Amino acid sequence: MTNIKGPAIFLAQFMGDTAPFNSLSSICAWAKSLGFVGVQIPSWDPRCIDLQKAAESKTYADEIKGIVNAAGLEITELSTHLQGQLVAVNPAYDALFDGFAPENLRNNPAARTEWAVQQLKYAARASQNLGLNAHATFSGALLWHTVYPWPQRPAGLVETGFTELAKRWLPILNTFDENGVDLCYEIHPGEDLHDGVTYEMFLKKVNNHSRANLLYDPSHFVLQCLDYLSYIDIYHERIKMFHVKDAEFNPSGKQGVYGGYQNWIDRSGRFRSLGDGQVDFKSIFSKLAAYNYKGWAVMEWECAIKHPEVGAKEGAIFIKNNIIKVTEKAFDDFASTGSNEEFNRSILGIH
């Protein structure tokens, strides 16, 4: 078994226009002061990184790494959640997702997709230049508007959708493989990969590609009423990243999983700061340790109630207290009788 690395923090929700959140160096100093030892970097934020430059220049990548290391931290992974979303967008969502792309690409879905694919390929090379072995992203979605089967889906629609999704991602997965980096899809509502079944459908379409792996975030499964502990048992060999995020689901006579079009604060299912929700993190950390998870435990803050800086401060302590220092010896070693093949055979009556 291996000790899980951490605590680390995903910087996306904390970046801002005022210090210490407006530059990589200052936000890293802030994270370090709270007790974090790693940072996950949003690759779309120019205050953190120039993704293309990091892909094309090892010198620049070393400079970024140096800024983080100077604060006493490590880079855990890069993230392309926003760009990954744009690899596959159903036309119904064009206007809503156009804001994720550069302004000159808006109202041009084909150019937007081409840009997103290139961004992912940059991320593979940038990750290699930074010495990273895993990367976080979203799958995008062609089928999400049909997630509830009414009206009845036309025969073959889902098959066609996943065939196209795989076609778009296979060249990206191959680029990640060439760079020795695991591409980890965050299984998430709004994506075509939103639970175990859809992940398996995609995996089959990409020929069980060795780089098509998982970012495990139990909060999204709480909101779907999915067994997030059994999920680890099923998919532990593919789990290469871990977002430590809490959530709660409190259905009522008026509202359930779909949320009634309410804002986050008023939804039955909502994200919470670490320790304030319903996720059984003791069992999660135990299972990941038992399955020899070798990655980072990265806090992602998305709470509609608690202040983010308070959530971050408490989150560093929460993760540190939940990481299990794995044992290097069996508890009953004191009673060991040693190893002797002849003795073992005699116990079994083998002559």
HEC secondary structure over the chain: CCCCEEEEEECCCCCCCCCCCCCHHHHHHHHHHHCCCEEEEECCCCCCCCHHHHHHCHHHHHHHHHHHHHCCCEEEEEEEHHHHHCCCECHHHHHHHHHHCCHHHCCCHHHHHHHHHHHHHHHHHHHHHCCCCEEEECCCECCHHHCCCCCCCCCCHHHHHHHHHHHHHHHHHHHHHHCCCEEEEECCCCCCCCCHHHHHHHHHHCCCCCCEEEEECCHHHHCCCCCHHHHHHHHCCCEEEEEECEEEECCCCCCCCCHHHCCHHHCCEEEECCCCCCCCHHHHHHHHHHCCCCCEEEECCCCCCCCHHHHHHHHHHHHHHHCCCCCCCCCCHHHCCCCCHHHHHHHCCCC
Residue 100 has pLDDT above 70, yes or no: yes
Mean pLDDT of 280-290: 98
Residue 334: what pLDDT? 60
Give the model's pLDDT for residue 195: 98
Between CA 14 and CA 29 the distance in angstroms is 13
pLDDT of residue 335: 60
To the nearest 10 degrees (0 to 180), the angle between helices 196-205 and 157-178 is 70
CA distance 328 to 126: 35
Asked if 85 and 140 count as a contact pair (C-beta separation under 8 A), the reply is yes
pLDDT tens per residue across span 300-340: 999 999 999 999 999 999 999 999 998 877 666 666 767 78
Q: What pLDDT, in 10s, does the model give residues 260-273?
A: 999 999 999 999 99
Domain that holds residue 108: 5-347
Indicate whether 287 pLDDT > 70: yes
Residue 197: predicted pLDDT: 98
Q: What's residue 332's pLDDT? A: 63
Burial class (CB within 10 angstroms; exposed 0-12, middle 13-18, buried 19+) of 237: exposed
Question: What's the 3-state SS for 230-289?
Answer: HHHHHHCCCEEEEEECEEEECCCCCCCCCHHHCCHHHCCEEEECCCCCCCCHHHHHHHHH
Position 196 scores a pLDDT of 98
Per-residue pLDDT reduced to its tens digit, 191-233: 999 999 999 999 999 999 999 999 999 999 999 999 999 999 9
| Cβ–Cβ < 8 Å for 34, 301 | no
159: pLDDT confidence band, cut at 50, 70 and 90? very high
Structure confidence at residue 343 as a pLDDT band (50, 70, 90)? confident
**Are the beta carbons of 296 and 241 closer than 8 angstroms?**
yes
Number of domains, the chain = 1
Other beta carbons less than 10 A from residue 337's beta carbon: 8
Residue 351 has pLDDT above 90, yes or no: no
CATH at residue 10 = 3.20.20.150
Q: For residues 298 and 31, is the Cβ–Cβ distance under 8 A?
A: no
Tens of pLDDT, residues 109-157: 999 999 999 999 999 999 999 999 999 999 999 999 999 999 999 999 9
pLDDT at residue 338, rounded to an integer? 73
Q: Mean of the per-residue pLDDT values for the chain? A: 96
